[in-house]
Structure formats: C-alpha cells, structure tokens
C-alpha cells in the first residue's frame, strides 16, 4: 500500500492513532499540512463572488435524506465517506465546494481529495447551517427542497 493510500485509509477512519512505526504515513501528513491552503481551505458563501457562483460545483456530503430534504440549488450529492472513492465524477477544471451541516465531515472529505491530488476543492465554512443563515440575512430564497439528483 502506498503512503498516500494508507493515509487515505487513516483519513477515512478518522480516529486511528498514528504510531511511531508508521513513518511514511506521518511524513505524508506532515507534507499535506505543510502545503495545506491558508484557512484550512474553507470559504464562506458570502466570500464567493456572485458572478462566480454559477461556475462552482457544490457537493452536499450529508446523508441522502438530508440532501433530499433541502440543499444548495444545483448541488450534487455524494456522502462524505464516498467522496474519495467517487472522485472521478468530480470536475478538475472548475472550483468544487464541499459542505455538510457544520463543516466537519466535509473537511475530512476535502483532505482526502487533496491527498488524492485534487487541488480545486474547498469546504463551505460553517456548512449548510451557515449557508441557511446567510440566505436568511440577505432575504434571498432558501435551498432547493425535495429535489433529487
């Protein structure tokens, strides 16, 4: 198993403790964190220029039920645990913003995609919860409700 594949296994499992006898994994993580984007790769909805929002692919990483109940208009659904496995479905030539409810799960998915070589991926700061708050604050219409993929 390559150090990157092993690192992705660790990322997917989330809470596996690193051991001293795993220097390749530790080196891979050190390299990732050394070159991780400032701010951890997160961006708020308001920071995305309005004229550029149509170019962004939003990926909802929550459960299917949560996605079906409500999501950002035009968002694609891939549950966070499947994002790395299904990365071939994601474009390389446009920005991708992953989101979950709060930002925690989508951050794990983003890290996995970064380790898999995708550098056009960010997370939505505060997740879907903050997105809904930003829509309410701006008086804009809310998310798509009940729409499926």
Report, as residue numbers or ranges, the catalytic residues. Answer: 100
Separation CA 100–CA 126 (nearest Å): 9
Task: Tell me the pairing of strands 57-60 and 42-43.
Answer: unpaired
For the chain, where are the alpha helices, taking DSSP H only? 3-13, 23-35, 64-69, 104-115, 127-138
Could you give the strand order of the β-sheet that contains 76-77, starting from the edge strand earlier in sequence?
A: 42-43, 121-124, 96-99, 57-60, 76-77
């Amino acid at each position: 198993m390559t150090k990157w594949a092993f690192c992705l296994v660790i990322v997917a499992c989330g809470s596996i403790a690193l051991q001293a006898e795993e220097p390749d994994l530790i080196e891979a993580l050190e390299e990732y964190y050394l070159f991780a984007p400032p701010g951890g790769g997160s961006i708020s909805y308001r920071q995305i220029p309005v004229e550029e929002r149509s170019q962004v692919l939003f990926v909802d990483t929550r459960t299917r039920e949560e996605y079906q109940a409500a999501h950002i208009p035009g968002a694609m659904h891939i549950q966070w645990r499947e994002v790395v496995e299904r990365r071939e479905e994601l474009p390389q030539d446009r920005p991708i913003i992953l989101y979950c409810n709060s930002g925690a799960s989508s951050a794990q998915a983003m890290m996995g995609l970064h380790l898999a070589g995708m550098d056009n991926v960010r997370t939505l700061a505060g997740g879907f919860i903050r997105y809904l708050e930003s829509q309410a604050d701006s008086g804009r219409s809310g998310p798509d409700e009940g729409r499926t993929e």
